């Protein structure tokens, strides 16, 4: 992709993989550090049978409804409600479905990407494709207790601003922010990782690649490493968004330090310890 489409996927857009009366799946990102899809499933629609990934992490963030994540060779169903992240490490047996009587929509992240998007394209087009997805091992794989559903760490909770850390592992750092209008970030650049956003509510404005981009709710924004960028909450209403860093590069420590810093020198030290440079 090129131009705006390389950075911004507007609401409702994305590369269509499936569009039926029972499910819709669209690719939001096929960048190697992070492949992402948006999906909608009708009630009781099966998503994926039990499997494992050897070399990457599988994550689900539920937008609306309730997703059922299936864990272990015992096929234990775990309900994941809206606004919740489920993280499945490599070698943990899992699958998923919509086990409810209502529709569900969610975002699925694979990090590193391991060509997950190419695997979906091959399924759509009826081609064979070798991908990091395997049958459950005879020994049952890693303990299902290593999968995490919810368990957010609240970093900031004050009037007009709430920041929660949803995932903080080497492969990915994810936060969810709720803020009144006016929040912004200084222009910066990441040299060693990709930064991505999904706007859940409200409107964000990004400056990236020398262009200003308006991103209302439902937008996906992905900034490649080495590209200067910034964002601001410019609409009249409060904004809620996901912020993803792949690989994490210590994003959790950065986020904590950012909100604990009390002086300019402390802020400079926090940013210097993270893969973030002024731009």
CATH of 10-149, one of 2.40.128.50, 3.65.10.10, 3.40.50.300, 2.60.120.10: 2.60.120.10
Q: Give me the half-sphere count of Cα atoms (radius 13 Å) on the Cβ side of residue 127.
A: 9
Residues forming CATH 2.60.120.10 domain(s) in the chain: 10-149, 153-278
**The pLDDT of residue 3:** 37
153-278 fold: Jelly Rolls (2.60.120)
pTM: 0.96
Beta bridge partners of 178: 162, 240
Question: In the chain, which stretches have pLDDT less than 70?
Answer: 1-5
Contact 132, 148 (CB under 8 A): no
Cα–chain center distance at 234: 23
Give every CB contact of residue 70 below 8 A, 6+ residues apart in sequence: 50, 76, 77, 78, 94, 95, 96, 97
DSSP label at residue 186: -
Nearest-angstrom CA–CA distance, 123 and 142: 27
Q: Which uninterrupted H or E stretch holds 251? A: helix 251-260
């Amino acid at each position: 992709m090129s131009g705006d489409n390389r950075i911004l996927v507007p609401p409702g857009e994305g590369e269509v993989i499936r569009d039926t009366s029972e499910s819709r799946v669209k690719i939001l990102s096929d960048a190697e550090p992070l492949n992402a899809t948006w999906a909608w499933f009708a009630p009781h629609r099966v998503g994926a049978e039990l499997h494992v990934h050897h070399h990457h992490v599988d994550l689900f963030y539920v937008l609306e409804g309730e997703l059922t994540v299936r864990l272990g060779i015992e096929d234990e169903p775990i309900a994941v409600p809206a606004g919740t992240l489920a993280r499945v490490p490599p070698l943990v047996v899992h699958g998923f479905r919509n086990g409810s009587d209502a529709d569900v929509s969610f975002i699925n992240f694979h990090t590193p990407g391991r060509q997950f998007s190419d695997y979906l394209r091959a399924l759509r087009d009826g081609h064979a494709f070798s991908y990091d997805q395997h049958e459950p091992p005879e020994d049952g794989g890693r303990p299902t207790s290593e999968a995490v559903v919810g368990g957010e760490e609240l970093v900031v909770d004050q009037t007009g601003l709430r920041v929660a850390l949803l995932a903080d592992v080497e492969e990915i750092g994810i936060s969810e922010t709720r803020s009144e209008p006016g929040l912004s970030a200084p222009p910066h650049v990441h040299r060693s990782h990709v930064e991505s956003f999904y706007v859940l509510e409200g409107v964000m404005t990004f400056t990236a690649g020398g262009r200003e981009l308006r991103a209302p709710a439902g937008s996906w924004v992905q900034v490649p490493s080495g590209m200067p960028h910034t964002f601001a909450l410019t609409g009249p209403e409060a904004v809620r968004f996901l912020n993803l860093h792949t690989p994490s590069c210590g994003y959790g420590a950065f986020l904590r330090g950012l909100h604990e810093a009390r002086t300019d020198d402390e802020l400079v030290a926090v940013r210097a310890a993270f893969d973030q440079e002024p731009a």
